[in-house]
A and B are shown apart, each in its own frame.
Chain A
C-alpha cells in the first residue's frame, strides 16, 4: 500500500476543487483511504492521517472515526504523535463522549512526563476540555504541579486548576495551600495565571475572599512596580509594561475591595496613580483605564476618585475610536444610578451618541439618555429623544416609545406637553408602541380632564391622516367614544377648534370597522366607541343600525358586543345612559418601566390577612411588568350588589371582568356614609377562602364623608381559577365621632355571573 499522501498535499488538492461536489468526492476518497489505514493499525502514518482528518473536520466533514486514533496517538512515545493526538482530542472529543474518559490515564502519565513540553500538552488539554470526572481524578497531579519551581509548568497548572475548580467547585480547598507564595513569583506568566486563579477562587467563595484580602498590599506593590519600572522589552506593549497583568490585577483588586473599607483604602492611591498616569493614545492604555474605572466604581472609593473615574469615561466619550465610546457608554450605564450627578455633566455628549452610526452605541446612548432624564432637562431631552424615535431602526422603536412614555409620565412639565408628546409618539412610531401602552395612555387622557377637548380633536385629526397604526387608532377610537360630544361642539381651547359633524365622526369610526388595516381588537374598540356615542350624539338611529349589523359578524368578539349593545337598546334602554356615561378618573397603582434603569415608584397596594398577591397579569405580548388598571371595555352587565349596610355605612360592590383573563373578577367597592359625621381612618379589608387569591389595591381615600356626600372606592381583584362560588369575609375599621369602630361581616350574596 502506498504511503498516505501528506497533509499539505491533501490541502492543496482539496483547494483545487471547483465545486462543492468535487470537494466532497475528494474528501470521501481520502476518508476511505484513511479508514483502511486505521484498520491496518499503521503506527507510522497514523499521525499524518489524523492531521488530515482534522483538516477535513474543519471544512465541516464528519471525523468521529478518528477519535480512538487520537487516543492511540496520545499514548504513543513520539512527541509528534502526542502533539497531534492532543490537538485531535481537543477538536474531536468533548466530555459528552465516553471515549473522552479513556484519555484520563494517558494524561495522568503525561502530567508526570520527563519532558516539560509533554507535561504542557497534557495540562493544556486537561485545562481546556477536561470533564468533571477527569478533573476529580487528576486534581492531585495538577496541585502538585502548581507547587513546582518550573515556571513553564506552574503557569499552566494554575490555569488548569481554574478549570478544575470550575468543573468541580468542591475541590477548590485543595488548591489553597499551593497559592501561598504564588504572588512572590517574578515570572509574569506565573503571576498572570496566579491572579486568574485567585480571582476565580475569590469569586466562588466568600471565605476565600476574606482569606485573600490580605494580599491587597502585595497586589498593589506588583501593580506599582509595573507602572513605575522602566522600559521592559519583554513585556512592553506600546510603552506600557504588561497590560494583561495590570488589567487582571485591577480586576482582582475590584473583587477584594468591594464592600470592604480597609482594602478599598489600601488601593486608593494606586488606582489614582494608574488613572492619571496611563497613556491614553492607544487602545492598550485605554484598556487599563477602563478596568481601573470599573474598579473605582465598584469599591468603596472616596468621592474624588469616583469623579476622576467618571471624567475618564467622559473623555472616552469624545474619543474618535468607536470601541472606546462604546465601552464608555456601557460603564456609564452601570454607574448612572450611584453617581447620577457626575454622569449628568456628560449628558450632551451622551445625547450626541444617539446620532452615531453604530447600532450598539445608539442603544446604549438611548438607555443612558432615559436614565438621565429629570425634571430639569425633560423638555430638551424629549426633543432629542423624539427626533431619535423618528429616525432610529425599527428594533429600537418599541423600547424608545415605552421609555418616552415613562419619562413623560414622571416629569411632564404640563398636561398639554404630556398629551402632545404622547401624540407625537403615536403618530411617528404608532405601530411599534407596546400593546400595554394603550391602557396607560387612556388612563392618562382620562385623568387630564381639562385637555379632553384638545386631545380628542388632535386624535381625530390624526385618524383622518392615517389609520394603519393600531395603538394610535385604538386610543383615538376610545377617546372619540368618550369625548365625541366635545369634538362636535368645537370646544377646544388650546388650538383652533375644527368643524366636524356627528356623521363625519361616525363615518370615521365605521371606516375603522370595515378597514382591512384594523385588527380585531381595534374593531372592538371602534364598535364600543360608536355605542358610547349613542348617549352623546343625537344620531341614535344610525348607531342602532351599525350595532345591529354587527350582531351577525363573523368575529365572535364583535358579534358578542353588538348583541349586547343591541340588548342595551332594546331591553335596558333605561340603563344605557348610566352605563355609557363618562369614565371617572381612574386610579393608578403601579407601573414598571421597560428598562431596568428607569423605574417609577413601587407598588402601593395593600394585602391583608391570608390574602396573597395575584400573579402578574400581563398581556402575553407585553414585556413590561404589572399594570394594575381596571379599565372596562366590555360592559358585561353584572348587576351591582350591596355587601354591607350597617350603622349608616353602606358598601356596594360593582363588577367587571378583566379582559385578558376571565378567571379574574374585578370588584370595585363603593363605601358611603349616611350619618351626620364623617368616618375617618376608614380601612376596608377582605379575605377569601384558600382556593381563591385576592389582591386589594389602594383606596381612593380613607375618609367616608358624611351624609352621602361622596364615597370611598377601592378595587379588589379576585383570582378564581376553579370557578368556585365567591365568598368573602370583610373587616371594616374606622373612627366615627371620636370612637373607633370595627366590624366583621360575611359576604355571600355574590351574583353568579361574577364567578361563573
Chain B
C-alpha cells in the first residue's frame, strides 16, 4: 500500500497515512485530485479504479470514504478486507464509531492504524491482539485522555453521528452455476 486517505463526503480530510516519501505539496496535489475523482464516482460503480499508475481501492462507510492506493501486484479484494478490518477495529475501540469520533480523536485513529499496518502491510491479523496492544499502550499514557464522547445535538450535521457501517448493498450470492 502506498497511502491511505479518509475523507468526508464534502471532501474534508480526516486522516492521511503515507507510506511513500513525497513532499507536502505533492501530497496535497494527490489528495485533491484523488478526492475529486472518488467523490465523482456513482454509487453503482465498482470499488476499484485506475489512477496514474496505481490501483485505488475505496469504500464508503456512512459519511466517510476510506481510500487506499495499492500497487499492481497487490490484491484488490483483500485490500477491501483490510479497510473493513480497520473499521472494525475503530468500531470496537470507540464503541459504534462514527465520523465525529475520528474527528475529535484523530490521534487515536492513527495509533490504531499504526498497530494494524506498518509500512503499508498488515502486521497483525488478529483483531483481539491489535486492540489489546492499544489498550496496554493507553494505560502507559501519563496523561489519560478520556475518549471524547460526542456533543449530542450541537452538531449541525447528523450523518457525522451515523455509525460507520458498510454503505453498499451486500451482494453475497453468486448465480447458480450453469
- A contact set with B: CB distance below 8 Å: 7-8, 11-12, 15, 47, 51, 54-55, 58-60, 78-80, 83-84, 87, 91, 94-96, 115, 117, 120, 123-124, 127-129, 131, 152, 155-156, 159-160, 162-163, 188-189, 192-193, 196, 234-235, 237, 242-245, 247, 251, 280-284, 286-288, 290-291, 294, 315, 318-327, 357-361
Cross-interface CB contact of A193 among B85, B123, B128, B142, cutoff 8 Å: B123
Q: How far is the CA of A322 from the CA of B171 in the complex (A)?
A: 9
A162 near B121 with CB under 8 A, answer yes
Are B141 and A117 neighbours in the complex by a CB distance under 8 Å?
no
- Give me 29 A-to-B residue pairs in the complex whose CB atoms sit less than 8 angstroms apart, sorted by A's number: A7-B107, A7-B145, A54-B106, A58-B15, A83-B107, A84-B107, A87-B110, A129-B19, A156-B123, A159-B119, A159-B121, A188-B125, A193-B118, A234-B128, A235-B126, A244-B122, A284-B78, A287-B78, A287-B80, A288-B78, A290-B75, A294-B75, A320-B171, A323-B47, A324-B77, A327-B48, A327-B76, A359-B45, A360-B50
Nearest A-chain residue to B73, judged by Cβ: A251
Contact partners of B81 in chain A: CB under 8 A: 237, 243-244, 283-284, 287
Q: Is the CB of A87 within 8 A of B111?
A: yes
Known contacts A189-B125, A325-B46, A357-B45; A318 and B111 CB within 8 A of each other: no
Question: Could you tell me if A315 and B174 are in contact, using CB atoms closer than 8 angstroms?
Answer: yes
Q: Which residues of B contact A128 (CB under 8 A)?
A: 19, 114, 118-119
Nearest chain A CB to B85's CB is how many angstroms away? Answer: 8
Q: Which residues of the partner chain A approach B125 to less than 8 Å between Cβ atoms?
A: 188-189, 192, 235, 242, 244-245
Minimum CB–CB distance from B141 to chain A (whole Å) comes to 5
Contact residues in B for A192 (Cβ distance below 8 Å): 122-125
Q: Which residues of A contact B45 (CB under 8 A)?
A: 322, 357-360
Chain B residue contacts of A120, Cβ below 8 A: 115, 133, 137
Cβ-based interface call for B153 (8 A): no
- Docked pose: A245 CA to B81 CA in angstroms: 12
Counting CB contacts under 8 A, is B22 at the interface? Answer: yes
Q: CA A315 – CA B24 in complex, angstroms?
A: 44
CB-CB nearest in chain A for B44: A357
Choose among B78, B119, B137, B173 the residue that contacts A247 (Cβ–Cβ < 8 A): B78
Known interface pairs A281-B172, A320-B175; A287-B118 also in contact (CB < 8 Å): no
Residues of A within 8 A of B123 (CB): 155-156, 159, 189, 192-193
Q: How far is the CA of A251 from the CA of B126 in the complex (A)?
A: 20
- Say yes or no for B148: interface residue by CB 8 A criterion: yes
Task: Note all chain A residues with C-beta closer than 8 A to B152.
Answer: none
Chain B 133-178 residues near chain A, CB threshold 8 A? 133, 136-137, 140-143, 145, 148, 151, 171-175, 177-178
Greatest chain A CB density within 10 A among B15, B137, B175 is at: B137
Contact, CB under 8 Å: A323 / B75: no
* Nearest Cβ on chain A to B142's Cβ, whole angstroms: 5
Closest to B126 in A: A234
Min C-beta distance of A533 to chain B, whole Å:
49
For the complex, what is the distance from the CA of A189 to the CA of B125, rounded to whole Å?
6
New A-B contacts (13) at CB < 8 Å, excluding given A242-B125, A290-B77, A322-B46: A58-B15, A95-B21, A96-B21, A115-B140, A128-B19, A155-B124, A159-B119, A189-B124, A294-B75, A322-B44, A323-B80, A360-B46, A360-B50
What 0/1 pattern do residues 91 to 115 of B give for CB contact below 8 A with A?
A: 0000000000001101100110011
Across the interface, which residues of A come within 8 angstroms of B78, CB to CB? 243-244, 247, 284, 287-288, 291
Q: Which residues of B contact A360 (CB under 8 A)?
A: 45-46, 48-50
**CA distance in complex: A240, B145 (Å):** 37
B36 at the binding interface (Cβ < 8 Å): no
Is B107 a contact partner of A281 (Cβ separation < 8 A)?
A: no
Rounded to whole angstroms, the CA-CA distance of A599 and B19 in the bound complex is 38
Q: Does B9 contact A (CB under 8 A)?
A: no
Chain A residue nearest to B124 in the complex (CB): A189
Tell whether A152 pairs with B76 under 8 Å between CB atoms, given A58-B16, A117-B140, A163-B119: no
Whether a CB of chain A sits under 8 angstroms from the CB of B34 is no
Assess whether A8 is in contact with B118, with CB atoms less than 8 Å apart.
no
Contact with A along B54-81 (1 / 0, CB 8 A): 0000000000000000000101111011
CB-CB under 8 A for A80 and B142, given A160-B118, A315-B174, A359-B45? yes
Other-chain residue from B18, B73, B110, B173 in contact with A281 (beta carbon distance below 8 A): B173
The residue in chain A whose Cβ has the minimal distance to the Cβ of B118 is A159
In the bound assembly, the distance between CA atoms of A287 and B81 in angstroms comes to 9
State whether A283 touches B77 (Cβ < 8 A). Answer: yes
Cross-chain contact of B107 among A54, A95, A244, A321 (Cβ < 8 A): A54
Min CB distance, B76 to chain A, in Å? Answer: 6
B89: min CB distance to chain A, Å: 13
Assembly CA distance A243 to B13 (angstroms) = 30
Do A160 and B119 form a contact, CB below 8 Å, given A83-B137, A152-B133? yes
Q: CB-CB < 8 A to A123: which residues of B?
A: 118
- Top-8 shortest CB links A-B: A287-B77, A322-B46, A321-B171, A320-B171, A189-B124, A159-B118, A287-B78, A127-B119
Known: A163-B119, A237-B81. Is A315-B177 also a contact (CB below 8 A)? yes
Q: How far is the CB of B35 from chain A (nearest CB, A)?
A: 12
- Residues of chain B within 8 A (CB-CB) of A7 are 107, 145
Checking A11, A152, A235, A244 against B104 with a beta-carbon cut-off of 8 angstroms, the contacting residue is: A11
Closest chain B residue to A54, Cβ basis: B107
Chain A residue numbers with a CB within 8 Å of B29 are none
CA distance A742 to B80 in the complex (A): 71
B9: min CB distance to chain A, Å: 16
Interface centre among B122, B123, B136, B171 (most CB of A within 10 A): B123
Select from chain B the residue with minimum beta-carbon distance to A246.
B78
